[in-house]
Amino acid sequence: MLTVDELASMIDHSIIDPFHTERDMVEGIETAIRYRTGRFTTQPIRVKAARKRLEDTGVLLQTYVGFPHGNDHTEVKLLQARRALDEGVQELDMVINISAFLSGDHAYVEQDVNAIVEAARPYDVTVKGILECFCLTRPQRLQAALIVERAGAQFVKTSTGQRPDMQASIAEDCRSMRAILKPETTIKASGGCFDLDALLLYYRNGARRFGASETATILEDLRTRIANGQPH
């Protein structure tokens, strides 16, 4: 059974929607610190300010590249990544080029991901490749996951989370990817992490990182279940 601290360490508390303001970032950081989440995810424009607020808190900072569709030129993604790296980001979530993948240009997709991995390497920064699974068939999802792994990314992430209405298969996606990826490649579930039961389901199916905004509700629910001796 997971403890509250164990689950919190797997959560990337995310305040990344286009309508999120600087005040939302500050409140999100306060939540991440209060619950000791593993990471806080912010918009690229707020990386520098967020890093300053997270200094010496134990919460790592991450942002995203090529969001949300992944169709930027590699050079543009590199510009985004290098700016974030120079401003102190500690993890990068990058969207694969979905259009290139669906067009069959898998070599380009791999090179695109690898470019960000190599840019992050001198900073010792982790890179996650985002698949946007709802755009892909299950065989395509598995193929894309293997490409991301082969490109050197340490994580495969199921979705940007921008289409929560299209995330019905997250558990199965996690399970099927876990069966083919190397043990050291971590799966991050995103886009459907709205409550504790969802996170626990994805955990049972192989996910070990979760992108969530309802972090306080999720962790308080777990705390209550533990206190009441309820199964979880």
Known catalytic residue: 52?
A: no
Eight-class DSSP state of 45: G
178: tokens are 């876990």
Q: Within a 10 A sphere around the Cβ of 77, how many other Cβ atoms?
A: 24
Can you give the C-alpha Rg of the chain in angstroms?
17
**What letter represents residue 19's amino acid?**
F
Q: Within a 10 A sphere around the Cβ of 176, how many other Cβ atoms?
A: 18
Q: Which of 12, 112, 188, 221 is catalytic?
A: 188
Q: Give the DSSP H/E element, type plus range, for residue 156.
A: strand 155-157
Distance between CA atoms of 25 and 41, rounded to whole angstroms? 9
Known catalytic residue: 128?
A: no
- Contact status, residue 94 vs residue 65, Cβ threshold 8 Å: yes
Q: Which of 93, 112, 173, 221 is catalytic?
A: 93
Query: At 197, is the secondary structure helix, strand, or coil?
Result: helix
Q: Which of 128, 157, 173, 221 is catalytic?
A: 157
Q: Within a 10 A sphere around the Cβ of 46, how many other Cβ atoms?
A: 23
Known catalytic residue: 48?
A: no
Please identify every residue annotated as catalytic. 93, 157, 188
